[in-house]
Each structure stands twice: as structure tokens, then as C-alpha cells.
Amino acid sequence: MIPLGLLSAGENGEIVEIMLGKGEGVPGGAGMDKTSVRVEEMGLRIGKNVEMLTNGGNTILLRVDEARIALARRMAMKIMVRR
């Protein structure tokens, strides 16, 4: 099990845990965004297979099904995957 942010480009992994706390919100949207909810709505859920497309810098790029999701590295380090 390693953080999603450590996968290198081209590698696949299955999400096993999302450690973004519910309370740990970004003051977003109407002032009550919840990071984990947002991440899951974009399709990053436990059991999902993801592919790392680009890894370098503050932002990583993933493929989830047919969608490409750009994600802050800080968030990617709190999502655990199994290679």
C-alpha cells in the first residue's frame, strides 16, 4: 500500500483508503466544501482503479475510467493505493 502520489507515470493502482478527513475542508463553494466528498464525487473512490498519467510538480494527473482528473499532490499523498 503506497500513497497515490508516489505512483510513477504509467503505473496503475487500486484505491484502498482515502484519508482526507471530512472536517479537513477547504473553505470552498458556499464556504463549506468537504474535500473527501469532492474527491469521491469526481470518481476517486475506494476500489477504483486509477492510472497515473503525469507525476511531477505540485499537481498530478490521473485517469479514472475515461476521465482525466488533475489533483494537488498534497491530496494525492493522503489517498492510499495498492499497485
Partner 1 sequence: MSNTQLKYKDDEQAAGGTPAVARTITVAVAGNPNSGKSTLINAIAGTRLHVGNWAGVTVEKKEALFEFGGRKIRLVDLPGTYSLSPYSQEEIVARDYLVHERPDLIVNVVDATNLERNLYLTVQIMELGIPVVMALNIYDEAQEKGYRIDVKGIEEMLGVAVVPTSATKKTGLDELLKRVLDVADAGAGRAPRKLSYGEDVETAADYVAEALERNYPSLLERYPKRWLLLKIMEQDGQVLEKVNLPDQGFLEEALHHLKRAHGEDIESIMADVRYSLASGLTREILEKPELRQTELTEKIDRIVLNRFLGIPIFMAAMWLLFKLTFDLSAPFGEWIGAMTDGPFKRWASAILTPLGAPDWTVSLVNDGVIAGVGSVLVFVPVIFAMMFFITFLEGSGYMARAAFVMDRTMHSIGLHGKSFIPMLLGFGCNVPGIYATRTLENPKDKVLTALLVPLMSCGARLPVYVLFVGIFFPNNSSTVIWSLYIMGILLAVLMGLVFKRTLFRGEAPMFIMELPPYRMPSFSSLCVHTWEKGKHFLFKAGTYIFAVSVLVWFLLNLPWGVEHKRDSYLGQAGAAVAPIFEPVGFGTWEAASSLITGVIAKEIVVGTMGEIYAPKHGEEKKEIPTLQEDLKEVVTSFGEASVKAVKTLLYLPQPEEKEEDRGGLKLAIQGAFTPLTSYAFMVFVLLYMPCVVAIAAMRQEFGTWKWAGVGLLYQTALAWGAALIVYQGGRLLGLGG
- Residues of the shown chain interacting with partner 1 in the complex, contacts defined by CB under 8 A: 22, 26-35, 37-43, 45, 53-54, 56-59, 61, 63-72, 74-75
CB of 14 to partner 1, least distance (A): 14
Find the shortest distance in angstroms from Cβ 57 to partner 1: 5
What span, in angstroms and rounded, lies between the C-alpha atoms of 33 and 64? Answer: 22
How many other C-beta atoms lie within 10 A of the C-beta of residue 14?
14
Q: Annotate 31-59 with DSSP letters as a single string.
A: TT--HHHHHHHTT--TT-EEEEEE--SSE
- Nearer to partner 1 by Cβ, of 8 and 27: the residue is 27
Closer CB to partner 1, 17 or 41, in the complex: 41
